[in-house]
Structure 1
């Protein structure tokens, strides 16, 4: 039984093309499959798998009780499960032939597919140095791309491989959430292959050693290998782990010639989560599809040499989406070292690094939008348009960034000096490109949020438009001063913000607010006490009038009062101190500020 997702292991390996070398392994625990149908390549491809394990995909997630009934029927033991029981890795009793067991299981109404747990190999071609170091940067125009971005630390590339040298100075401070699927822990091996791949993606631009395509991004190493092999179930777990942990790009410099439903499901799961998946096409010089590169939701990458020709070892076929430099690539090695390697394993991280640059410029692009940018910006090689060797073309980092739209334009304000009258609004607009939600608010000079205008909405017609009348969230008008309209854009993993300053100039009429709109005077209560508040310093005039509006008695005449609560009273007499007869009277308060803006408030008083 294994860790976080409880996965099982196995993936396919292949016999490497004649003249390139042979992958060798012992027979213990693995069985050689029959020859795969091929379109007559010059060599035979075979598959290797875990001898006593199967991967079962159910029609829908099956509860543990129902799974146990099936296991008891066929003598199976569950090793682990994914997606609440949609996929399981089971151990088969030694004497039961796997092929017969697969056929029997697939007759069960709850089972959609049963398959072997295949081995997967890294797609590396070891080589001696023969070209100048890191020639691929010149080919894909990395230096021009770096004029726009070297990669943001908020962008993460998951390297699903054999681990990497975590102590290498090229990765210092940029390793996040490492995970060992096999050992179910955070400790990963110092693997040569994974270290080399990671360096191509993101070795630091620190004035020493080498530089990756996206030297500013973070790396998430996920170790799936046991020796020369990884297993399809483990790779599926790794892809889902990377997507769940917020990886923006997954690099898979590995592959198998046997289709795996659990890997295809994981690739689709990652894409649905917003994670772009890039994989090596394979190194056998064949047109057979290699998985995961051949999955429709994965960018499959072939390798070119320094002359932009497809390499002799690179696989080709209709599943190729892009090509990238992959021969004699200089990158990081354990321990704190550097060296050359060749293979589509080296080409895939060039594409992954370029994708990371694109997402650094605009983190709100969907994986599908990033794919289109990479395809449309690639250098067309071979036959015009798409072909089996180069796909859409050879990746070009500079052209990819040139095609990448900025996530947002500049904030447009209808005024930078907002004269607040209570009837006017300031209009703030921002155009955006990508998939995100917007939060728009106003903050004062101290950074305190005073009013939320848009909260978590999707853009409309390519942007956001917000209006502010000067009121704060508490209902009061904002005092004079400097404010900022802030647009904060975010998806489930990235956020960006932009602000524009505005000067608020209050031009509001003064406000007088009485506690009571009417009151009654009786013998027991012979006077009316009026409590009122003013919002600023005012000259207050107050007087009593009868129902017909005739002056009865002045109470205050242009008395200067500060902004706070005040009190005044009327004893029911006129200016001659004579008691007024029963009836309705009105106390009218009038306030005028220094700008000669005025207002009034009326309180009715009944004398019984």
Structure 2
């Protein structure tokens, strides 16, 4: 069966053994050709498509009937296939989230507060709680409202203050943080009218780590670009109404990628309640929620595929396939999920680029230093390994990639450094060879190693319980101390002091010899031996 399917570019995806039915995946462009070929094979009884049955699923959330936007984007039909996944969190870069809200508390994972530089992510404004509920309020819990991706966790990242302002610097930091945590869906319902290289660089970093970023178009009814929505590699979302028209407040322009409901959106509010909100701030997380459904349905997809599926599965609302009000159209959850389920992984054969940026070639180093490596890949870098003279030295999974090298533990010599980067598809790229010379002043230990047994003197008498104490000193430091009783090792300490409790109660009368031996960091040793009597 596998050989037959492989010859047609298909693959087994499941089996119902008792009725001998196989589920297979087929490249979309070859669907009809494969169906026809397999139907003519005498070993196959029938071939049919894996048809979709719709239940018209309605969640039991008490205020779901007031959420007009969810049926509008075909979310209930999409939920028959997926409701999100715990492995596909959504980062909400905003004012925080009410951690006690009954429709959100169970869906929150640890985030970060970039205003206070701590882990307190309580909502300081109220905006973030409403945004989070639009994307991923807990669904089917007999409480409040439903979120688009109710089974996807929410990571709150606080950058918007109580006065409704955020800096580009904090937005950029939050994007990088989410990407470094492996979050692949990021929502930013904030924006400004000034272009920023800082924002674009942060977007590129997150995109290269595999994240899809969504941002509101803003609410000034203008075609002026707002950022980060208008940044490259960000999905800019405009707002639609219940009649599938552009909301009067929504921005528009040729920088818009897609549209989603954004007028009179019932969602969660700070303090445990619910309210209706207007704005592209809600179109964006609704779209991010659909993206989470896409990735939940097919985790193998790249961020580029997720965005492509979103835009190509949208319902066109303009007079052309793409226009300046709706982009490629209004999001459609069901069509997006169906497309995701049938999508084959986008084969990645491009190696990541990698270079050692510090130290420079043909330089001399000493002491401790940091080896810095730059690495990039269009699908995201998985890890970077550093090799010293062909031997694996260490690996780093987080950008910026750096390696601490204490050269004092190595001989003065010339060493070759090479970095290897791996992308998420397993492709690897290798840097050029960096040759460095290690030149450290070699410390010669000429001082005497002194060992002192301070608790007993030679020839002393002992009682029933003795505490043996000893110390050692040396110019280069003590690495280890050992205590022997009549030649038998009794205690080892990896410092310059040694204590040992000696139970002598059952010992017979006579002489006992114990020795304390110490070793310095240069490998020298010293010893003191005494004899005591009972």
Pairwise TM-score range, normalised by the shorter structure: 0.5 to 0.7
8 Å Cα contact 1:364/1:435 also seen in 2: no
> What residue in structure 2 maps to residue 301 of structure 1?
237
Following the alignment from structure 2 to structure 1, what is the Cα–Cα distance between the partners of residues 109 and 347? 25
> What residue in structure 1 maps to residue 345 of structure 2?
433
Deviation of 1:405 after TM superposition, in Å, equals: 2.8
Partner of residue 147 from structure 1, selected from 80, 92, 107: 80
Q: Deviations over 1:141-171 (max 9, x none)?
A: 1110000000010001100001110111212
Following the alignment from structure 1 to structure 2, what is the Cα–Cα distance between the partners of residues 225 and 329? 21
Following the alignment from structure 1 to structure 2, what is the Cα–Cα distance between the partners of residues 147 and 281? 30
> What residue in structure 1 maps to residue 102 of structure 2?
169
Deviation of 1:296 after TM superposition, in Å, equals: 1.7
> What residue in structure 1 maps to residue 91 of structure 2?
158
Following the alignment from structure 1 to structure 2, what is the Cα–Cα distance between the partners of residues 395 and 255? 21
- For the residue of structure 1 that corresponds to 2:66, the secondary structure is coil
Q: Deviations over 1:518-555 (max 9, x none)?
A: xxxxxxxxxxxxxxxxxxxxxxxxxxxxxxxxxxxxxx
> What residue in structure 1 maps to residue 128 of structure 2?
194
Residue 275 (structure 1) aligned with residue 187 (structure 2): no
> What residue in structure 2 maps to residue 394 of structure 1?
330
Superposed, 1:161-240 pairs within 5 Å as: 161-190=94-123, 191-205=125-139, 206-226=141-161, 227-240=163-176
8 Å Cα contact 2:138/2:146 also seen in 1: yes
> What residue in structure 1 maps to residue 272 of structure 2?
336
> What residue in structure 1 maps to residue 193 of structure 2?
257
Q: Hey, which bits of structure 1, 4+ residues long, moved more than 3 A? A: 434-437
Following the alignment from structure 1 to structure 2, what is the Cα–Cα distance between the partners of residues 260 and 292? 8
- For the residue of structure 2 that corresponds to 1:338, the secondary structure is strand
Deviation of 1:334 after TM superposition, in Å, equals: 1.2
Deviation of 1:194 after TM superposition, in Å, equals: 0.4
Following the alignment from structure 1 to structure 2, what is the Cα–Cα distance between the partners of residues 492 and 222? 25
8 Å Cα contact 1:283/1:343 also seen in 2: yes
Following the alignment from structure 1 to structure 2, what is the Cα–Cα distance between the partners of residues 246 and 197? 21
> What residue in structure 1 maps to residue 340 of structure 2?
404
Superposed, 1:360-379 pairs within 5 Å as: 360-379=296-315
Deviation of 1:435 after TM superposition, in Å, equals: 6.2
* Structure that is richer in strand per residue: 1
Superposed, 1:204-603 pairs within 5 Å as: 204-205=138-139, 206-226=141-161, 227-405=163-341, 433-434=345-346
Following the alignment from structure 1 to structure 2, what is the Cα–Cα distance between the partners of residues 158 and 133? 26
RMSD: 2.0
Deviation of 1:436 after TM superposition, in Å, equals: 8.9
Q: Which runs of 5+ in 1 are unaligned?
A: 1-130, 408-431, 438-490, 494-608
Following the alignment from structure 1 to structure 2, what is the Cα–Cα distance between the partners of residues 330 and 136? 9
> What residue in structure 1 maps to residue 473 of structure 2?
none
> What residue in structure 1 maps to residue 447 of structure 2?
none
Following the alignment from structure 1 to structure 2, what is the Cα–Cα distance between the partners of residues 199 and 178? 16
Deviation of 1:132 after TM superposition, in Å, equals: 6.4
> What residue in structure 1 maps to residue 428 of structure 2?
none
Following the alignment from structure 1 to structure 2, what is the Cα–Cα distance between the partners of residues 340 and 138? 17
8 Å Cα contact 1:167/1:336 also seen in 2: yes
Deviation of 1:406 after TM superposition, in Å, equals: 5.1
- Provide the TM-score with structure 2 as the length reference: 0.52
Following the alignment from structure 1 to structure 2, what is the Cα–Cα distance between the partners of residues 280 and 347? 7
- For the residue of structure 1 that corresponds to 2:133, the secondary structure is helix
8 Å Cα contact 2:106/2:138 also seen in 1: no
Following the alignment from structure 1 to structure 2, what is the Cα–Cα distance between the partners of residues 272 and 142? 29
Superposed, 1:81-160 pairs within 5 Å as: 133-160=66-93
Deviation of 1:434 after TM superposition, in Å, equals: 4.7
- For the residue of structure 1 that corresponds to 2:93, the secondary structure is strand
8 Å Cα contact 2:98/2:105 also seen in 1: no
- Provide the TM-score with structure 1 as the length reference: 0.46
> What residue in structure 1 maps to residue 459 of structure 2?
none
> What residue in structure 1 maps to residue 519 of structure 2?
none
8 Å Cα contact 1:366/1:435 also seen in 2: no
Following the alignment from structure 1 to structure 2, what is the Cα–Cα distance between the partners of residues 318 and 436? 30
Deviation of 1:344 after TM superposition, in Å, equals: 0.3
8 Å Cα contact 1:196/1:332 also seen in 2: yes
Q: What is the aligned length?
A: 287
8 Å Cα contact 1:405/1:433 also seen in 2: no
Deviation of 1:173 after TM superposition, in Å, equals: 3.1
